[in-house]
């Protein structure tokens, strides 16, 4: 008898998997060994917020730097020679390293470059020169979409890994010119089209405040890093809620300006050049720990005159909001006509309304559902005009599968034909024109309105339901932001949705989430 010598060839891992292993090894190697945690939290620990304070890796001074200041305070302390840039940078690099080990919130790590930059900024001040700008010595983190020379902007795709950027995004140069120290980039969802930050290259980012719920997306790494105070000031992007959703999930401030307010040129989004001009363009904007830091960010960028290098940026300096002697009139929008909010969200709105009234603000109840309800379906149609083909090309070039949440929701489609595209833009322009009428009633002008960020509290991982309360303002090209009110507690989780017929499939899913 003879034995067959034929054996099957060993199955090699797919191309994307090999690249992901290499990328994670590179990432781990960039965390100094003395900054690594001895152990990770026990499975029953869901709140990681106190671990940086308890792990013993941060000195008393580093804890104070990362916990007792906002970005404006740090900038003032550096300018007044109370703190050195290098000490501030080291503290945030260390805390970001801890954050990465706990939440998987980082992508690119460039701590060494940041410390070198901080030393140069200290030497600059020591020579008697004026600070470079308002952000002199302030560490700033960046969403992975921003290009930083010498580092990848892979946006979590294997096919874009190990292809370092040859030039900076325009906003990156603005921040450097304003004196900022850039030290890391942060995680995003695959395709940038999900509301929970998971991709095959870097993995999933988790929420340090409660690991059972989502950190949000697509700027989820930024949100998580700020929540655990591994960053004092971060920069994200937003086309459907990608700054505001993580801000809500992670308890930070976050602002999406109108799309021409800040430079967006030089981003990596997985799309072909010019794609944003046929759909809905995204905006860049800050996530921060205070409202004055939001203003610091906008002022610092505007001082760099980015419109000289990015033709899409409006040549408009930053001026602080001033109401003069006129009493503010703020609207309250409770419903969008697509998804009704859960009872805790309604109660939070009531709390905010009461606080505004006590602050001598004129509060106006606004029912704009007739217009608001038209935004979501139109935004969804305009998001998909290219058909996702450029993104699928990138995925398939490395044999990379879709993330599980996206696998049942995303597929190649034919690009929208010109007559249909023209019709979509026509509907958008008409809706924007109609919306101008909501800013004035019989009593005068309305300065701003508040509404829910989402119709539900922060949901479990991969359960974020609808983005009608955020994407609508991108469709309208309105500036929109998130201001934290307070943390939800178990006491908030009472009350039931009305026993009425759901408004539609999104509302039905939202009611299920309430249960």
Q: Is residue 28 in some structural domain?
A: no
Binding site annotation covers 218?
yes
- Are residues 336 and 270 located together in one domain of the fold? no
pLDDT computed for residue 155 by the predictor? 98
Q: Is residue 8 in some structural domain?
A: no
pLDDT computed for residue 2 by the predictor? 47
Among residues 84, 94, 143, 185, the one annotated as catalytic is 143
Number of neighbouring beta carbons within 10 Å of residue 347: 14
Say which residue the tokens 């700008």 belong to.
133
Q: Is residue 302 in some structural domain?
A: yes
Split into its structural domains, the chain has a count of 2
- Are residues 270 and 343 located together in one domain of the fold? no
Binding site annotation covers 242?
yes
Domain closes at, from 259, 277, 308 = 308
- Are residues 300 and 444 located together in one domain of the fold? no
- Are residues 301 and 398 located together in one domain of the fold? no
- Are residues 303 and 334 located together in one domain of the fold? no
pLDDT computed for residue 498 by the predictor? 87
Q: Is residue 30 in some structural domain?
A: no
Binding site annotation covers 133?
no
Distance between CA atoms of residues 473 and 470, nearest Å: 6
pLDDT means over runs of 10, the chain (515 residues):
57 95 98 97 95 98 98 98 98 98 98 98 98 98 98 98 98 98 99 97 98 98 98 98 98 97 97 93 98 98 98 93 78 98 96 97 97 97 96 98 96 97 98 97 95 97 95 98 93 89 96 90
Domain closes at, from 278, 308, 338 = 308
Query: Domain of 344: which CATH number?
Result: 3.90.1300.10
Among residues 141, 218, 283, 472, the one annotated as catalytic is 218
Output the pTM of the full model. 0.97
Binding site annotation covers 192?
yes
**Please, what is the angle between helix 85-103 and helix 60-67, to 10°?**
80
pLDDT computed for residue 271 by the predictor? 95
Distance between CA atoms of residues 476 and 435, nearest Å: 8
Helix (H) or strand (E) holding 198, with range, is strand 198-199
Tokens of 130: 């004026």
Is 143 considered catalytic here? yes
pLDDT computed for residue 1 by the predictor? 45
- Characterise 387 by phi-psi region: left (phi > 0), alpha (psi -120 to 50), beta (else): left
Taken in order 26, 27, 33, 39, is the CA torsion positive or negative?
negative
Q: State which residues form the domain around 349.
A: 329-514
Backbone angles phi, psi at 449, to 5 degrees: -135, 155
Q: Is residue 20 in some structural domain?
A: no
Backbone angles phi, psi at 321, to 5 degrees: -65, 135
Binding site annotation covers 240?
yes
- Are residues 430 and 481 located together in one domain of the fold? yes
Q: Is residue 187 in some structural domain?
A: yes
Among residues 159, 242, 283, 373, the one annotated as catalytic is 242
Is 242 considered catalytic here? yes
- Are residues 333 and 363 located together in one domain of the fold? yes
Q: Is residue 15 in some structural domain?
A: no
Is 15 considered catalytic here? no
pLDDT computed for residue 503 by the predictor? 96
């Amino acid at each position: 008898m003879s034995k067959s010598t034929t054996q099957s060839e060993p199955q090699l891992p797919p191309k994307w998997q090999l690249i992901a292993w290499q990328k994670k090894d590179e990432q781990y190697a960039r965390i100094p060994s003395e900054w690594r945690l001895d152990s990770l939290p026990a499975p029953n620990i869901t709140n990681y917020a106190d671990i940086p304070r308890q792990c013993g890796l941060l000195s008393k001074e580093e804890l104070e730097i990362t916990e007792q200041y906002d970005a404006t305070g740090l900038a003032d302390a550096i300018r007044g020679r109370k703190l050195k840039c290098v000490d501030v940078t080291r503290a945030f690099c260390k805390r970001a390293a801890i954050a990465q080990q706990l939440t998987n919130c980082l992508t690119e790590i460039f701590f060494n470059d940041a410390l070198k930059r901080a030393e140069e900024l200290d030497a600059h001040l020591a020579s008697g020169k004026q600070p470079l700008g308002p952000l002199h010595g302030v560490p700033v983190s960046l969403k992975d979409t921003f290009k930083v020379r010498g580092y990848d902007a892979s946006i979590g795709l294997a096919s874009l890994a190990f292809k370092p950027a040859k030039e900076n995004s325009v906003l990156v140069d603005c921040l450097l010119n304003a004196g900022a120290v850039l030290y890391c980039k942060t995680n995003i969802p695959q395709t940038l089209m999900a509301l929970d930050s998971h991709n095959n290259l870097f993995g999933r980012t988790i929420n340090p405040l409660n690991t059972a719920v989502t950190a949000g997306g697509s700027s989820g790494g930024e949100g998580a890093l700020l929540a655990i105070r591994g960053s004092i000031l971060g920069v994200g992007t937003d086309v459907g809620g990608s700054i505001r959703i993580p801000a809500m999930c992670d308890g930070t401030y976050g602002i999406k300006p109108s799309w021409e307010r800040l430079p967006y040129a030089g981003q990596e989004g997985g799309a072909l050049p010019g794609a944003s001009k046929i759909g809905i363009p995204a905006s860049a904007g800050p996530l921060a720990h205070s409202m004055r830091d939001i203003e610091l960010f906008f002022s610092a960028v505007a001082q760099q005159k980015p419109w000289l290098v990015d033709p899409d940026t409006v040549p408009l300096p930053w001026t602080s909001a001033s109401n003069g002697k006129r009493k503010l009139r703020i609207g309250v929008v409770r419903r969008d006509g697509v998804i009704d909010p859960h009872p805790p969200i309604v109660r939070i709105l009531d709390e905010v309304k009461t606080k505004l009234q006590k602050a001598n603000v004129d509060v106006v109840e606004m029912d704009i559902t007739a217009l608001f309800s038209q935004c979501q379906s139109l935004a969804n149609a305009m998001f998909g005009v290219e058909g996702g083909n450029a993104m699928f090309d990138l995925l398939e070039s490395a044999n990379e599968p879709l993330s599980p949440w996206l696998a049942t929701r995303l597929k190649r489609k034919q690009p929208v034909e010109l007559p249909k595209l023209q019709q979509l833009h026509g509907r958008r322009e008409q809706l924007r024109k109609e919306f101008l009428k909501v800013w004035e009633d019989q009593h005068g002008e309305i300065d701003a309105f508040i509404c829910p960020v989402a119709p539900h509290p922060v949901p479990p991982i991969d359960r974020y339901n609808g983005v009608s309360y955020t994407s609508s303002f991108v469709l309208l090209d309105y500036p929109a932001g998130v201001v934290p009110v307070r943390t939800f507690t178990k006491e908030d989780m009472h009350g039931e949705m009305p026993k009425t017929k759901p408004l539609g499939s999104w509302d039905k899913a939202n009611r299920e989430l309430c249960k």
